[in-house]
Amino acid sequence: MATFVMVNGIPGNMGRLVAETCVARGLELVPFSLTGEMIVENEAEVAGRKIILLKPSNREALIGDILKKYSGLICIDYTHPTAVNDNATFYVNHKIPFVMGTTGGDREALIKLVAEANHPSVIAPNMSKQIVAFQTMIEYLATEFPTAFDGYQLSVVESHQKTKADTSGTARAVVQSFQKMGLDFDDSRIEMVRDEKNQLERMHVPAPYLGGHAFHTYSLDSADGTVHFEFQHNICGRSVYAEGSVDAVNFLAEQIAKGNGKQFNMMDVLRSGKMR
């Protein structure tokens, strides 16, 4: 039985790509998408299909009929950081399982909301299998060898397309692991690079990917400056996140079918072996 998916964030670039990936991977794309009130369009064409755009002003009136027609649908959220918590409340209130790919928002409130409702979801700052594996590695280091970088100084720089409004959620998550090692570093000190000149000349982002990339560098230096460690992960394009989002939907659908619906993250998806 096919899984119905509503991709929210169309007509944005990420929303479009995720919707196209869902179709390519055999999921049933629901012809509706939550979007922002400021979006002028009322519909969009994605993967050869007409998608009706639902705005905060009309979504409550329409969602009941949508849920009746597409029973068991799962939402994938790639909207805007300012919409994260409001959208999550909408999903919980209407008992819609969801995959949250949008970063930003009040993450503590998001996790608390979903946990208290025991709501089936996959929430993660990054949907890439390889980045999730990297995050798991750093978290393991923090847990098993918490004093490995005693006395070191951390610096973090991340570069994304200039339209990304918030600091990288992946960078914030990795910083949390380094903080567990005792490194004195607040995520407000993460350096965001959003101007294209610096992206080209300093970060060495290939010109074709200025509109969609994620370059991160985590540097660790000993107190006397004689030892330097550097962890780096650079992604050009967005396809890796779209593929991971579909993996998350398939994982969540399987968990719900087993009666295990609750809050998961991408590490759970990776451990399950469900990521392509």
From CA 270, how far away is CA 248, in angstroms rounded? 9
For 35, the token pair is 């979007």
Q: Are 166 and 123 in contact (CB under 8 A)?
A: no
Measured CA distances, 13 to 8, 19, 147, 161 (Å) = 11, 10, 42, 12
Active site (catalytic) residues: 160, 164
DSSP state of 222: -
Label each residue of 169-215 as H, E or C.
Answer: HHHHHHHHHHHHCCCCCCHHHCEEECCHHHHHHCCCCCHHHCCCEEE
Strand 153-160 and strand 98-100: the pairing is unpaired
From CA 158, how far away is CA 154, in angstroms rounded? 13
